Structure 1
Amino acid sequence: MRTSLRLNNDLEPGQLIDLARAAEAAGFDQLWVSHDLMLRSAPVLLGALATSTSRISLGVGIVNPYTMHPAEIAMMASTMQELSGGRFLLGLAAGAADFLGWVGIEQPKPLTAVREALRSLRALLNGGKPLTIEGSGSGWTDQAYLRVPPQPTPIYVGAMSPRMVEFAGAEADGVLALLFPPEHFSTVAAQVSAGAAAAGRSLDGAPDGAGARSLDGSGAGSPGAFDLPACVWLSIDHDQRRAERALAHKLAYYGSAFSPYLLGRAGLSRADFAEVDAALRRGDPEAAADAVTPRMLALGIAGAPDAVIARCASLRDLGARHLSFGPPLGDDPVAAVELLGDTVLPVVRGWNEQ
């Protein structure tokens, strides 16, 4: 059972460094930083984290081929691998259409764009040339290669739609799929397995064809293992109400962005968020949080350590072998990470011995 943290790139560099050090001390295996548009630059932040930590793997979650050309993504990933001593993880996705729209960028054929970018990136980072890779996009010449030593890098695909999840199972080293609710893990796992099977990738480690790799959900992008983290929103606090309040604020802010597909999995609809949306339009975030119902809170995990452990155990029972906790984490993120390290992670590590 692996564990990771996911943090937003709205955090100040000093706070992020404190969180990274706390995560490493707590025993987390990975730390991911988002690269949402118009906030702080995740690659720059990760460079600082690489020099402030020594063991934990560091990932960018995610970059997209619309605002950053795959050649520049490869340059960044290669440099981060050198700087971090091989601890870098690359998250790739199509990006959020709403965010791209802020800067007038359209998002045509997102699955094709991600597929071509992944193939180009893998060729570049492994020391090859994209033009030799079928389906890696057009416009590359024989001069399109990195003038630095090869830096093979695990590539994770950020995915929400079934087709993108299946593609991740077919070609990526891992998938970052937000789970609303967390128990949606079993559906995502089935979609990953379907994509892997169609591509001839084995689920048990036995090769099914040339280049096949295992898909066991427990790896970290290393050869022979596909990483399938159960990516959930978490808020932990000894005070149950305080933990739920932090998650309520998160759900209120992002509620209007949830697709009907996501909400339907939890028995919710856009109409259920009408009161939340109205309060936000009035500029009243507290009233918006008040309008978040217990059913909405079930989209994430919130509570005292025992409640968090119980929900994590349900994910383990569904087959999850990597638990990935994302913000809000709690009123005090560093205290929340330390609380996770003191109470939840020892139990999770104990499951490995059962």
Structure 2
Amino acid sequence: MEPRSSTIFSVRAGGDPRRMAALAVHAEAMGFDQIWTGNDIFGEPGLIALTAMLSATDSIRVGSAVIDPVSIHPVQIAQFSSGLQTFSGNRFLLGLGAGSQVFFDWAGIAPAAPVTRTRTALRAVQALTRGESPVGLGKGFEEWTDQAVLRQPAEVPVYIGAMGPKMLTMTGRYADGALPLCLPPRQVLDARDQIMAGATAAGRNGEELDIAACLWCSIDDEADRARWILAEHIALYSGSLATEVLERHGFDPEEFVRTQKLMLDGNKSDAIKTVLTSSTMLELGIAGGVDDVIDQCGELMNAGVRHLSFGPPMGADIARAMTLLGEKAIPVLRREIS
């Protein structure tokens, strides 16, 4: 497999299967390379949506972002991944992640540590979809047997929803790609370095990995409306962002603390205004009109980013946002950024 030179553009969205099938058709028409949807337990039925999306499209690649190996056993993940890969003519991408401990607590589930369970599942799925048993892979596979093989295996690229250093390093050692949520967008450069270090330590060519910069993007015909929508999203999640990451990228954590307090006190409008008037908080994502988005994405591509993944909030209308990206922004970025 040769190192990739062209840039990949993808979109991330959620919803019921019918909505996701329609969005996948639209994303394909707009020239996106990939579309991803989630499958959180207690959330929307992502597995059904994946089937609907692949059935409705012809060329776009469709991915799960992400499936946890706790609520669904790795053998079953390998089984339906192989089926989706065969059914779609090799257009399925498997995204794996540790899953949310909050959701597991709701169900009374006590899983292994996040990196451990993700690594074990990743290696098991890779072996199973190759038509092999995971037996003999080392720690975590002592109870498997030679009979643990799929009847109809089909290899599938495996991406990891990675955020922390240990998960990113593990991704570089074993996975085919990564789906780090990049808040701010330039955080993808740190994630890339950690993934590359893991790949190098394992004797792999890190240039072959597909590292997606998973962005919060808001684009609209009216730039100010796009910025307001991103500001609302930042205000909503202002208390969930790691202080260490904020400080490393030049943000003031106290601004986020104040914004979170306003939200908790029911002062949503003031919280959004705080984000909009801050000199830095909007830099957590990409927002504005077409030219604004082109400029911000161009900076990332010039820094070596080769996969831009646009995700919520996306704007007032996700279909319109996809149209603006697909018809106006992406062609310019493909043409002008080498």
Question: Is TM (by shorter chain) over 0.5?
Answer: yes
Distance (Å, rounded) in 1 between the aligned partners of 2:100 and 2:247: 20
Residue 261 of structure 1 aligns to which amino acid in structure 2? E
Residue 310 of structure 1 corresponds to 295
Distance (Å, rounded) in 2 between the aligned partners of 1:23 and 1:71: 31
Please point out which of 242, 255, 259 is paired with 2:238.
255
Residue 116 of structure 1 corresponds to 120
SS of residue in 1 equivalent to 2:211: coil
Residue 226 of structure 1 aligns to which amino acid in structure 2? L
Please give the residue correspondences for 1:8-23 in structure 2 after superposition, counting only pairs within 5 Å: 8=14, 11-23=15-27
SS of residue in 2 equivalent to 1:298: helix
The answer as to 2:198 corresponding to 1:195 is yes
Structure 1, unmatched stretches of 5+, are 203-214, 217-224
The answer as to 2:135 corresponding to 1:131 is yes
Please give the residue correspondences for 1:157-236 in structure 2 after superposition, counting only pairs within 5 Å: 157-202=160-205, 215-216=206-207, 225-236=208-219
SS of residue in 2 equivalent to 1:248: helix
Give the number of aligned pairs.
330
Structure 1 residue 231, shift from structure 2 partner: 1.4
Residue 141 of structure 1 aligns to which amino acid in structure 2? T
Distance (Å, rounded) in 2 between the aligned partners of 1:93 and 1:79: 20
Distance (Å, rounded) in 2 between the aligned partners of 1:29 and 1:56: 6
Residue 333 of structure 2 corresponds to 348
Residue 56 of structure 1 corresponds to 60
On the 8 A contact 1:119/1:136 being kept in 2, the answer is no
Further displaced range: 254-263 or 192-201: 254-263
Residue 3 of structure 2 corresponds to none
Structure 1 residue 48, shift from structure 2 partner: 0.6
Output one character per residue of 1:275-318: Cα deviation in whole Å (capped at 9) or x when no partner. 43234334554443233244221100000111111111110121
Output one character per residue of 1:80-112: Cα deviation in whole Å (capped at 9) or x when no partner. 112222111111111222332232323432212
Structure 1 residue 269, shift from structure 2 partner: 5.2
Structure 2, unmatched stretches of 5+, are 1-6
On the 8 A contact 1:5/1:326 being kept in 2, the answer is yes
On the 8 A contact 1:120/1:136 being kept in 2, the answer is no
On the 8 A contact 2:238/2:257 being kept in 1, the answer is no
Residue 334 of structure 1 corresponds to 319
CA separation of 1:347 and 1:136: change in aligned 2, threshold 3 A: farther
SS of residue in 1 equivalent to 2:311: strand
Further displaced range: 307-316 or 88-97: 88-97
Residue 222 of structure 1 corresponds to none
CA separation of 1:336 and 1:43: change in aligned 2, threshold 3 A: same
CA separation of 1:350 and 1:46: change in aligned 2, threshold 3 A: same
Distance (Å, rounded) in 2 between the aligned partners of 1:330 and 1:34: 19
Residue 35 of structure 2 corresponds to 31
SS of residue in 2 equivalent to 1:272: helix
On the 8 A contact 1:119/1:135 being kept in 2, the answer is no
Residue 290 of structure 1 aligns to which amino acid in structure 2? K
The answer as to 2:27 corresponding to 1:7 is no
SS of residue in 2 equivalent to 1:123: helix
Residue 231 of structure 1 aligns to which amino acid in structure 2? C
On the 8 A contact 1:128/1:145 being kept in 2, the answer is yes
TM normalised by structure 1 equals: 0.88
Identity %: 40
Residue 80 of structure 2 aligns to which amino acid in structure 1? M
SS of residue in 2 equivalent to 1:307: helix
Distance (Å, rounded) in 2 between the aligned partners of 1:83 and 1:141: 28
On the 8 A contact 2:24/2:57 being kept in 1, the answer is yes
Distance (Å, rounded) in 1 between the aligned partners of 2:111 and 2:274: 33
Residue 317 of structure 2 aligns to which amino acid in structure 1? D
On the 8 A contact 2:17/2:48 being kept in 1, the answer is no
Distance (Å, rounded) in 2 between the aligned partners of 1:101 and 1:270: 28
Please point out which of 305, 315, 333 is paired with 1:320.
305
Structure 1 residue 12, shift from structure 2 partner: 3.2
